[in-house]
C-alpha cells in the first residue's frame, strides 16, 4: 500500500502522466456510461436496426455544434411526434361518429440557411373510412399557406418538397422549402427568422379512429456527432467504440505481456529443451507474417472481434520481448534469494510464480500500458481494411465507412475526424502514461 | 555460403597464431552449418504454417470448388451450342469441365499432398501461378506479379525508411549533445505521437493537403493518364510519393529519435567517455570513436531489420493511399483466396529474414571484437 502511494505521488510529478491518466480515466468513464446507458442489445438495434430506426435523421449531416464556428448558422434537424406528446393535440367530437383532431407544432427558426426538407409521418387507426387531413403552414409574418389536403392511409409519409400540388401553388419546382421559409413574393429567397407553426387538422369518420403525426425537419446539421450515409447517428458508434477499443487494447496487452512473461520465466527456469523449444518457436513466429495472418483469419474464418483478439494474443506471445525477459530472468535466476528458496525446498511453480515473476512487475507495468495503443490501432487498422467486427460499431468501422463513401473527397471531414480524434486521444493517453511509468519504474532512465 | 565465411574468419584471425587457424576454421564451419540448418528448419516450419493457415482447414477449397461448379454450369448453359443437348449430356459436359478445372488448380488431390507440393515449390522459389490474380501485363506467374509491384513498394518503403533511419540517428546524436535543451524536451513530449500507425497520419495528411489545400493528390502512383515524358513521369510519381512517405516518417520519427537519443546518452555517460573528455579530445572524435563505435552493432541490427521490413511494405498505408505495392497486393490476394500469391510473398519475406539473421552473426563479429563466432571463450 505504501509502495502504491509512493508511485502515485511520483506520478503526480510528471505532467504528461497526469494528462495521460486523466485521459484514460475519462475514457473509462465514457465506457462505463455507455455500457450502462445503452445496453448491448439496444446498441445493436440502434446501429443495425434498419430504416425504421433512423428514418428521421438527415443523410451526411455534420454535428450541430459546428454552428459555433459558422458565421451563417445552419439549421439543425429535429423531430416532434404527437404520439410522444411533443405536439399539441386537441380532439373535438362533432357528433357520434365524426370528430376533428387538431395537431399543432410551433418552433423557432433562427438560422441563415434553409433546411433540406420537411416530412410528416402519419399513423392512423381506422377500419373502413380513412381520416381526412388538411395541413397548413403559418409563417412568422402571419401568412397562412395551405400545404395539402388528402385522405390518410394507415401509415403514410408526406414530403413537402416532393408534393406536385404544393410546387404548383408556390410556383416553383425545386425551391419548395426555401419558399416556405422566406418572405412573401420575393424573387430571391431569403430565410425569414422567427416562429413557424404547422397545423394539421384531421376529420375522422369512425368513433375509434386515432391519428398521430411525426413532424421531421431535415436540417443541415444533426445532433452531437452527425450522421452517415444511412442516416445513422454517429454518436452511438463513437460512444460504443470506447468500451470496445479499451477492452480490446487492455485485454490484448494484458494477455500478451502476462503470457510472454510466464513463458519466458518457465523457459529460463527449466532450461534445456524447454528453453530451446521456446526459442525456436519465437524464431518461427518471427518468420510468420503477423498482419497477413490476421487478415486471413478475418477473411476466411471469422471477423468476430473476440476471435481476432485471440489470434492477436496467440501471435504476439512469442515475440521479441520474450528474449528481453529471458535475459533478465537469466540474471535473477542466479540471485542468492532464488538459491535460498531452492535450498529450503520451494517447488518449481512456487519459485517461478512467487519469486521470479513478481520481480519483473516493475518492467511489466510500463510495457503493458505502452502497448495498449498499438492494439487499439490494430483493431482500427483491421476495420479500415474492411475486416472489422460485422455487428459492433467501432471507431475503425466508422473511418472505413467514411472512406468507402469518399467522405474526404466530398468534404465530410467530421465523419473521419471524430473517430480519428478519439483514437488519437486513446493512443496519446496510454502512451503518455506508459512513458511516465517507464521512468518511475526504471530509475536508470530518470536522469536521462 | 562457405565463400562468405572465409573472409570473415580470416579477418577475425588476422592477429592470431597460425597454429590455431585449423581449429578456428573448424569451429566457424561447425557453427555456420548448425546455424544454417536451424534457420532452414525455421523457415520450412514457418512457411508450412503459412500454407496451412492460408488454406484455413479446407475452407478455401470449398469456396473454390463452389466457384468452379458455378462457373462450369454457367459456361455450359450460356453456350448456345449446348442448348439443344439432352440434360444428361449437358450434365456430363458440366462434370467434365469441373474435373478439368479442378485438375488445373490441383484440387483433385487431397490437401495433405498439395500442401507439401506447395511447400516444395515455395522452398525452391518456384512460386508457380496465381489462381485468380493477374499482373498488369496479363501474366499469371506469381513471380511476375510480385516483381511488378516491387518497385512501387521499394520506392515508398526505401525513401521513407531511409530518411527515417538516418534522420533519427543524426537528430538523436545532436540532441544527446544538447541534452535538456528545448528541442530535446520537445522530442520527449512528442514521442507518444508514435503510438499511431502511418495510415492514421495518412488520413490527416490526405485531409489537409489533398482535400482542403488541394495541392497534393489523394492517392495512386502517377497522374491519370500517366505523362509520356520520363521527367514529367518521375515528377508525377514524386508528387504522389510525398504524402504516403511523410505519413510513414511522421508516424515513427519522434519515438525513433527518443530511443536513439536515450541509447546514445547511456553510452555517453560511460567512464571511458569521461576519460576521453578529460584528455581533451574534440567532441567529434569522442562521438565517432567512443559513442558511435560501441553502439554500432545495435545500429547495424536495426538497419538490417529495416532492410527486411522494406520488403513487406505497409499493407494498410498502401491501401489507404491506393499505392500499387506488395502490401496492397497481399491484401488483394487474401481477399481473392489466392493461396499461391499469399505464400509467395510470405516465402520471400521468410528467406530474407533468415539470410539477414544469418549474416548479422558474422557482421557482429567484424564490428564488435567482444563477440566471437561459435560462442563462448572456451576454445581459446
What's the confidence (pLDDT) of residue B311? Answer: 66
> What's the ipTM?
0.79
Given CB atoms, is B360 within the 8 Å cutoff of chain A?
Answer: no
What's the confidence (pLDDT) of residue A373? Answer: 92
Q: Which residues of A touch B207 (CB under 8 A)?
A: 408, 413, 416-417
How distant is the alpha carbon of residue B189 from its chain centre? 30
Alpha-carbon distances of B312 from A345, B126, B127, B240, B301, rounded to whole Å: 50, 19, 17, 20, 17
What's the confidence (pLDDT) of residue B373? Answer: 60
What's the confidence (pLDDT) of residue B240? Answer: 92
pLDDT at B9 over 50: no
Cell 408556390 belongs to: A170
Three-state secondary structure call for residue A36: helix
Q: Is the dihedral angle over the CA atoms A423, A429, A434, A439 positive or is it negative?
A: positive
A377 contacts B200? CB cut-off 8 A: yes
Choose the most confident range, by mean pLDDT, from A254-258, B94-98, B307-311: A254-258
Min Cα–Cα distance to chain A from B150, Å: 17
A380 contacts B47? CB cut-off 8 A: no
A411 contacts B191? CB cut-off 8 A: no
Q: Quick one: average pLDDT of A271-292?
A: 85
pLDDT at A110 over 80: yes
Of the candidates B273, B277, B253, the one whose C-alpha atom is nearest the C-alpha of residue B264 is B273
pLDDT at B2 over 60: no
What's the confidence (pLDDT) of residue B379? Answer: 34
Given CB atoms, is B58 within the 8 Å cutoff of chain A?
Answer: no
Pairs of residues, one from chain A and one from chain B, whose beta carbons lie less than 8 Å apart: 130
Q: Provide, rounded to the nearest whole percent, the portion of chain B with pLDDT above 90.
A: 6
Min Cα–Cα distance to chain B from A267, Å: 19
What's the confidence (pLDDT) of residue A230? Answer: 84
Tell me if the bond preceding B225 is cis, omega within 30° of 0. yes
CB A20 within 8 A of CB A431: yes
Residue in A296, A381, A432 closest to B56 by CB: A296
Which residues 251-290 of chain B have a CB within 8 Å of chain A?
262, 265-266, 269
Region A2-46+233-445: CATH code: 1.10.3720
B149 contacts: CB under 8 Å, gap ≥ 6: B324, B325, B326, B328, B329
Spatial distance between the Cα atoms of A280 and A14, rounded to a whole number of angstroms: 41
A374 contacts B350? CB cut-off 8 A: no
pLDDT at A307 over 80: yes
What's the confidence (pLDDT) of residue A245? Answer: 92
What's the confidence (pLDDT) of residue B10? Answer: 47
Given CB atoms, is B332 within the 8 Å cutoff of chain A?
Answer: no
Spatial distance between the Cα atoms of A274 and A281, rounded to a whole number of angstroms: 11
B265 contacts A300? CB cut-off 8 A: no
What's the confidence (pLDDT) of residue B378? Answer: 35
Angle between helices B339-367 and B293-312 (to 10 degrees): 170
What's the confidence (pLDDT) of residue B17? Answer: 52
Q: Please write the tens of the pLDDT for every residue from B29-86.
A: 888 888 888 888 888 888 888 888 877 666 667 777 777 888 888 887 777 777 777 7
Spatial distance between the Cα atoms of A158 and A152, rounded to a whole number of angstroms: 10
Query: What chain A residue is nearest to B207 in terms of C-alpha separation?
Result: A408
**What values do phi and psi take at A353, rounded to 5?**
-85, -25
What's the confidence (pLDDT) of residue B285? Answer: 84
Given CB atoms, is B216 within the 8 Å cutoff of chain A?
Answer: no
Residue in A373, A385, A417 closest to B195 by CB: A373
What's the confidence (pLDDT) of residue A323? Answer: 81
A432 contacts B192? CB cut-off 8 A: yes
B309 contacts: CB under 8 Å, gap ≥ 6: B157, B161
Q: Which three cell numbers stand for residue B350?
A: 521468410
The model's confidence at residue B377, banded by pLDDT at 50, 70 and 90, is very low
CB A228 within 8 A of CB A412: no
Q: Is the dihedral angle over the CA atoms A16, A19, A22, A27 positive or is it negative?
A: negative
Query: What chain A residue is nearest to B264 in terms of C-alpha separation?
Result: A448
Residue in B191, B193, B346 closest to A292 by CB: B346
CB A230 within 8 A of CB A54: yes
Q: Please write the tens of the pLDDT for every residue from B339-376.
A: 778 878 877 777 777 787 788 777 777 776 666 665 44
* Residue, of B102 and A260, whose pLDDT is higher: A260
DSSP state of A233: B
Choose the most confident range, by mean pLDDT, from A82-86, A280-284, A375-379, B64-68: A375-379
List the single range of A106-120, A403-417, B105-119 with lowest mean pLDDT.
B105-119
Burial code (b: 16+ CB inside 10 Å, e: under 16) for B187-197 equals bbeebbbbbbb
Give the right CATH number for A66-218 from 2.60.120, 1.10.3470, 3.40.630, 3.30.70. 2.60.120
Min Cα–Cα distance to chain B from A227, Å: 19
What's the confidence (pLDDT) of residue B20? Answer: 56
The model's confidence at residue A443, banded by pLDDT at 50, 70 and 90, is low
Q: Which residues of B touch A448 (CB under 8 A)?
A: 179, 262, 265-266, 269
Q: Please write the tens of the pLDDT for every residue from B131-151.
A: 778 877 778 888 888 888 888
Q: Please write the tens of the pLDDT for every residue from B249-284.
A: 998 899 889 888 888 888 887 888 888 888 888 888
CB A320 within 8 A of CB A258: no
Q: Please write the tens of the pLDDT for every residue from A192-237.
A: 888 898 999 988 888 888 888 888 888 888 888 888 888 888 888 8
* Candidates A18, A276, A287, A371, partner chain B, best to mutate (most B CBs within 10 A): A287
The model's confidence at residue A406, banded by pLDDT at 50, 70 and 90, is confident
What's the confidence (pLDDT) of residue A28? Answer: 95
Spatial distance between the Cα atoms of B122 and A13, rounded to a whole number of angstroms: 56
pLDDT at B1 over 50: no
Q: Which residues of A touch B348 (CB under 8 A)?
A: none
B47 contacts A384? CB cut-off 8 A: no
pLDDT at B176 over 70: yes
CA-only gyration radius of chain A, Å:
31
In DSSP terms, A125 is beta-bridged to A210
Domain ranges of chain A: 2-46+233-445, 66-218
A428 contacts B50? CB cut-off 8 A: no
Average pLDDT, chain B: 79
Given CB atoms, is B6 within the 8 Å cutoff of chain A?
Answer: no
B203 contacts A448? CB cut-off 8 A: no
B195 contacts A430? CB cut-off 8 A: yes
Residue in A288, A295, A420 closest to B46 by CB: A288
Q: Please write the tens of the pLDDT for every residue from B291-336.
A: 888 788 778 877 777 776 666 668 888 888 989 888 888 888 877 8
Spatial distance between the Cα atoms of A142 and A224, rounded to a whole number of angstroms: 33
Which residues 19-48 of chain B have a CB within 8 Å of chain A?
38-39, 42-43, 45-47
Query: What chain B residue is nearest to A411 in terms of C-alpha separation?
Result: B211
Q: Provide, rounded to the nearest whole percent, the portion of chain A with pLDDT above 70.
A: 98
A399 contacts B320? CB cut-off 8 A: no
**What values do phi and psi take at A92, rounded to 5?**
-120, 115
Q: Which residues of A touch B193 (CB under 8 A)?
A: 428, 431
Instruction: Beginning with the edge strand found earlier in the chain, give each strand of the sheet holding A88-93 in spatial order.
Output: A88-93, A99-109, A194-204, A132-138, A144-151
Q: Please write the tens of the pLDDT for every residue from A130-187.
A: 888 999 888 888 888 888 888 888 888 888 888 888 888 888 877 888 888 888 777 7
A427 contacts B335? CB cut-off 8 A: no
Amino acid at each position: 500500500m505504501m509502495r502504491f502511494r509512493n508511485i502515485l505521488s511520483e506520478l503526480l510529478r510528471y505532467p504528461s502522466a497526469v494528462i495521460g491518466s486523466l485521459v484514460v480515466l475519462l475514457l473509462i468513464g465514457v465506457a462505463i456510461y455507455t455500457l450502462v446507458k445503452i445496453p448491448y442489445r439496444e446498441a445493436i438495434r440502434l446501429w443495425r436496426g434498419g430504416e425504421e430506426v433512423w428514418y428521421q435523421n438527415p443523410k451526411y449531416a455534420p454535428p450541430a455544434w459546428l454552428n459555433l464556428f459558422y458565421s451563417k448558422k445552419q439549421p439543425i434537424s429535429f423531430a416532434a411526434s404527437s404520439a410522444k406528446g411533443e405536439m399539441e393535440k386537441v380532439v373535438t367530437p362533432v357528433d357520434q361518429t365524426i370528430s376533428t383532431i387538431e395537431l399543432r407544432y410551433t418552433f423557432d427558426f433562427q438560422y441563415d440557411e434553409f433546411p433540406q426538407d420537411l416530412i410528416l409521418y402519419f399513423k392512423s387507426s381506422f377500419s373502413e373510412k380513412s381520416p381526412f387531413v388538411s395541413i397548413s403552414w403559418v409563417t412568422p409574418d402571419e401568412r397562412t399557406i395551405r400545404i395539402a389536403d388528402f385522405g390518410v392511409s394507415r401509415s403514410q409519409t408526406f414530403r413537402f418538397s416532393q408534393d406536385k400540388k404544393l410546387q404548383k401553388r408556390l410556383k416553383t419546382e425545386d425551391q419548395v422549402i426555401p419558399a416556405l421559409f422566406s418572405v412573401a413574393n420575393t424573387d430571391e429567397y431569403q430565410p425569414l427568422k422567427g416562429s413557424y407553426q404547422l397545423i394539421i387538422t384531421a376529420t375522422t369518420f369512425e368513433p375509434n379512429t386515432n391519428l398521430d403525426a411525426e413532424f421531421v425537419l431535415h436540417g443541415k446539421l444533426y445532433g452531437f456527432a452527425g450522421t452517415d450515409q444511412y442516416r445513422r447517428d454517429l454518436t452511438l458508434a463513437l460512444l460504443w467504440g470506447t468500451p470496445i477499443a479499451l477492452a480490446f487494447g487492455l485485454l490484448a496487452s494484458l494477455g500478451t505481456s502476462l503470457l510472454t512473461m510466464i513463458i519466458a520465466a518457465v523457459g529460463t527456469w527449466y532450461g534445456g529443451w524447454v528453453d530451446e523449444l521456446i526459442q525456436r518457436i519465437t524464431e518461427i513466429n518471427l518468420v510468420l507474417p503477423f498482419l497477413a495472418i490476421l487478415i486471413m483469419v478475418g477473411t476466411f474464418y471469422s471477423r468476430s472481434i473476440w476471435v481476432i483478439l485471440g489470434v492477436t494474443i496467440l501471435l504476439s506471445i512469442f515475440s521479441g520481448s520474450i528474449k528481453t525477459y529471458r535475459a533478465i530472468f537469466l540474471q535473477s535466476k542466479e540471485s542468492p534469494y532464488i538459491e535460498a528458496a531452492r535450498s529450503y525446498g520451494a517447488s518449481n511453480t512456487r519459485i517461478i510464480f512467487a519469486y521470479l515473476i513478481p520481480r519483473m512487475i516493475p518492467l511489466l507495468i510500463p510495457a503493458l500500458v505502452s502497448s495498449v495503443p498499438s492494439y487499439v490501432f490494430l483493431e482500427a487498422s483491421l476495420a479500415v481494411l474492411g475486416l472489422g467486427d460485422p455487428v459492433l460499431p467501432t471507431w475503425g468501422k466508422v473511418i472505413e465507412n467514411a472512406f468507402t463513401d469518399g467522405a474526404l473527397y466530398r468534404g465530410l471531414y467530421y465523419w473521419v475526424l471524430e473517430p480519428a480524434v478519439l483514437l488519437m486521444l486513446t493512443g496519446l493517453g496510454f502512451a503518455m502514461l506508459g512513458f511516465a511509468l517507464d521512468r518511475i519504474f526504471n530509475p536508470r532512465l530518470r536522469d536521462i | 555460403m562457405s565463400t562468405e565465411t572465409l573472409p570473415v574468419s580470416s579477418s577475425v584471425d588476422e592477429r592470431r597464431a597460425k597454429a590455431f587457424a585449423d581449429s578456428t576454421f573448424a569451429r566457424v564451419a561447425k557453427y555456420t552449418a548448425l546455424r544454417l540448418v536451424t534457420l532452414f528448419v525455421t523457415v520450412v516450419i514457418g512457411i508450412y504454417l503459412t500454407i496451412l493457415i492460408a488454406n484455413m482447414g479446407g475452407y478455401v477449397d470449398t469456396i473454390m470448388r463452389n466457384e468452379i461448379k458455378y462457373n462450369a454450369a454457367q459456361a455450359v448453359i450460356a453456350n448456345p451450342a449446348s442448348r439443344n443437348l439432352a440434360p444428361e449430356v449437358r450434365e456430363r459436359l458440366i462434370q467434365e469441365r469441373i474435373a478439368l478445372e479442378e485438375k488445373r488448380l490441383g484440387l483433385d488431390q487431397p490437401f495433405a499432398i498439395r500442401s507439401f507440393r506447395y511447400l516444395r515449390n515455395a522452398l525452391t522459389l518456384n512460386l508457380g501461378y496465381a489462381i485468380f490474380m493477374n499482373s498488369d501485363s496479363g501474366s499469371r506467374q506469381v513471380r511476375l506479379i510480385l516483381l511488378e509491384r516491387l518497385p512501387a513498394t521499394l520506392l515508398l518503403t526505401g525513401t521513407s525508411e531511409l530518411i527515417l533511419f538516418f534522420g533519427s540517428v543524426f537528430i538523436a546524436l545532436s540532441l544527446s549533445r544538447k541534452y535538456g535543451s528545448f528541442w530535446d524536451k520537445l522530442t520527449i513530449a512528442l514521442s507518444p505521437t508514435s503510438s499511431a500507425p502511418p495510415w492514421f497520419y495518412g488520413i490527416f495528411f490526405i485531409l489537409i493537403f489533398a482535400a482542403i489545400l488541394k495541392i497534393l493528390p489523394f492517392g495512386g502512383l502517377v497522374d491519370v493518364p500517366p505523362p509520356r515524358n520520363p521527367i514529367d513521369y518521375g515528377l508525377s510519381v514524386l508528387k504522389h510519393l510525398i504524402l504516403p512517405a511523410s505519413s510513414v516518417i511522421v508516424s515513427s520519427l519522434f519515438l525513433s529519435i527518443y530511443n536513439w537519443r536515450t541509447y546514445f546518452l547511456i553510452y555517453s555517460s560511460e567512464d571511458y567517455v569521461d576519460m576521453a573528455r578529460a584528455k581533451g579530445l574534440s567532441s567529434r572524435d569522442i562521438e565517432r570513436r567512443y559513442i558511435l563505435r560501441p553502439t554500432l552493432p545495435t545500429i547495424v541490427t536495426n538497419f538490417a531489420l529495416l532492410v527486411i521490413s522494406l520488403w513487406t511494405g505497409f499493407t494498410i498505408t498502401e491501401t489507404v493511399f491506393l499505392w500499387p505495392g506488395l502490401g496492397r497486393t497481399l491484401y488483394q490476394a487474401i481477399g481473392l483466396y489466392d493461396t499461391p500469391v499469399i505464400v509467395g510473398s510470405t516465402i520471400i519475406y521468410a528467406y530474407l529474414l533468415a539470410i539477414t539473421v544469418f549474416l548479422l552473426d558474422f557482421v557482429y563479429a567484424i564490428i564488435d571484437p567482444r563477440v566471437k563466432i561459435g560462442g563462448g571463450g572456451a576454445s581459446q
